[in-house]
């Protein structure tokens, strides 16, 4: 990844709304090496990295949602004084199982076979996303907190040691749902999320989070280039 691209992202509203970074060293000093590493990972693992002929739009949508989840998880973690860098990484990778499933389905699809319909894809996701994510996490040697969150975010109460982070990512993904399609995921559904009880966010804190929508969109746009 080119240094100029890192600087462009680091200067987005999601990272440095009130400063103008001109060098990689400034970006590292301002944001920290872990933050820069997360930026590098996010821009490397984009929707073009995975090849699933016939399912390109699905992967693009999953990746956009993953970026949004990463930023929302980071904002939630900041509010709760959790590890924001870990929350971002967990949010970024939380749906990797879906992408691997799509790539596998595409790899085994014959040239004269139509793509799988949405219902059947959703059934595959529901059944296999968590175990596939766990396999990916183990093969990549990811930290336990990331592996657990990827595996258990939908069932955060079952996470052995990372229930709060898993709940943070679940709620981050739900805010992303609301941001992307508020008609099908309205606010009244969002504020009934079971994750809210564990992360202990109050209604006024949720409102403050939602006020950061423009910042999150700015970050997603920067990392989508």
Q: What is the DSSP string of the chain?
A: --HHHHHHHHTSTTT-TT----SHHHHHHHH-HHHHHHHHHHHHSSTTTS--TT-HHHHHHHHHHHHHHHHHHHHHHHHHT--HHHHHHHHHHTTHHHHHHHHHHHHT--TTSPPPPHHHHHHHHHHHHHHHHHHHHHHHT--HHHHHHHHHGGGGGG-SS-HHHHHHHHHHHHHHHHHH-TTTS-HHHHTT-THHHHHT--HHHHHHHHTTHHHHHHHHHHHH-
Q: pTM of the full predicted structure?
A: 0.84
Q: What is the CATH classification number for the domain harbouring 116?
A: 1.10.3210.10
Specify the pLDDT at position 21: 55
Same domain, 74 and 169: yes
Residue pLDDT, tens place only, 113-127:
888 999 999 999 999
| pLDDT class of 166 with cuts at 50, 70, 90 | very high
Residue pLDDT, tens place only, 5-16:
566 666 665 665
Residue pLDDT, tens place only, 50-95:
778 889 899 999 999 999 999 999 999 999 988 888 899 899 999 9
Domain that holds residue 14: 1-44
Same domain, 57 and 39: no
Same domain, 55 and 134: yes
Same domain, 192 and 171: yes
Comparison of pLDDT for 2 and 88, the residue scoring more: 88
Specify the pLDDT at position 156: 95
Name which of 30-39, 41-50, 69-78 the model is least confident about: 30-39
Same domain, 218 and 189: yes
Same domain, 27 and 57: no
Same domain, 219 and 120: yes
Same domain, 12 and 33: yes
Same domain, 135 and 28: no
Instruction: Report, as an integer, the average pLDDT of 172-189.
Output: 96
Same domain, 40 and 55: no
Total structural domains within the chain: 2
Same domain, 77 and 147: yes
Same domain, 33 and 68: no
């Amino acid at each position: 990844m080119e240094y100029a691209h890192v600087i462009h992202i680091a200067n987005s509203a999601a990272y440095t709304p009130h400063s103008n970074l001109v060098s990689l060293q400034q970006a590292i000093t301002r944001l920290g090496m872990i933050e820069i590493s997360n930026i590098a990972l996010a821009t490397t693992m984009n929707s073009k990295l995975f090849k699933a002929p016939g399912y390109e739009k699905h992967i693009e949508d999953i990746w956009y949602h993953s970026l949004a989840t990463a930023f929302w998880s980071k904002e939630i973690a900041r509010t709760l004084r959790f590890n924001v860098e870990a929350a971002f990484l967990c949010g970024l990778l939380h749906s990797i199982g879906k992408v691997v499933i799509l790539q596998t389905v595409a790899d085994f699809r014959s040239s004269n076979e139509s793509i799988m319909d949405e219902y059947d894809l959703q059934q595959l996701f529901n059944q296999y996303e968590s175990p596939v994510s766990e396999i990916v996490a183990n093969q990549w040697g990811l930290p336990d907190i990331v592996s657990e969150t990827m595996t258990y975010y939908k069932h955060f109460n079952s996470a052995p040691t990372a229930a709060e982070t898993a709940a943070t990512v679940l709620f981050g993904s739900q805010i992303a749902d609301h941001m992307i399609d508020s008609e099908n995921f309205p606010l009244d559904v969002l504020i009934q999320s079971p994750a809210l009880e564990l992360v202990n966010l109050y209604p006024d804190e949720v409102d403050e989070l939602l006020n950061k929508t423009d910042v999150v969109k700015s970050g997603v746009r920067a990392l989508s280039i």
